[in-house]
Amino acid sequence: MAFSTNDLKNGMTLDLPEGLFSVVEFQHVKPGKGGAFVRTKIKNLKNGAVIDRTWRADEKIEQAIIDKREMQFLYRDGQHYVFMDNVSYDQLQVEDSALGNSSKFLKEGDSVTLSMYKDEIVGVDLPAAVELSVTQADPGLQGDRVSGARKPATLETGLVIQVPLFVGPGDKVKVDTRSGEYITRV
């Protein structure tokens, strides 16, 4: 859907020849001499790169209508993740690569919001934190009681994070999905 650059708003998604971009910031500029223009900062939805872009006022650009769907992760099938739409109950197979780092935080039964443009997944909205079980962690060494000491632990999804020495196999831990860091034991 084409629209004017005068109607830009933060959060809009643009379908540009270089790919899909989200408007982070915009500013209408009317210099004393010459035509008005719109200065923007836009974020590439694929790789997260933020670039500056300037358009003439009232230039036509394409808006991408993003469909956000609440989905439940059912199971993993090889390199695919199988999701079920919570409204229509349709199943969707998603390539591992389309999920990016989000796949490290998904366990069966979790609900996520998939942002889709046409038939392509352009974003995955996870909760701020998830609870995952520790499957492997070395025991803390005897006498190693340094405050804040950490050790690696493997979680049920295969993600390896640094945890305090008292966390062991079978424990549930809360993990921040934005940074991938340990928050607390549950």
Domain coverage including residue 163: 129-185
Contacts of 136 by beta carbon, 8 Å cutoff, 6+ apart: 153, 154, 169
Burial class from Cβ neighbours inside 10 Å (0-12, 13-18, 19+) for residue 121 reads buried
Q: Does one domain contain both 141 and 119? A: no
Domain boundary residue, one of 62, 77, 92: 62
Q: Please give the tally of structural domains in the chain.
A: 3
Q: Does one domain contain both 7 and 32? A: yes
Give pLDDT tens digits for 132-181: 999 998 886 655 666 677 889 999 988 899 998 888 899 999 999 888 89
Q: Does one domain contain both 44 and 14? A: yes
Distance, in Å, from the CA atom of 56 to the CA atom of 85, rounded to the nearest integer, reads 41
Which CATH number is 144's domain given? Answer: 2.40.50.140
Q: Is the pTM of this model over 0.75?
A: no
Distance, in Å, from the CA atom of 164 to the CA atom of 137, rounded to the nearest integer, reads 10
- Report phi then psi at 50, rounded to 5: -105, 130
Domain boundary residue, one of 62, 97, 113: 62
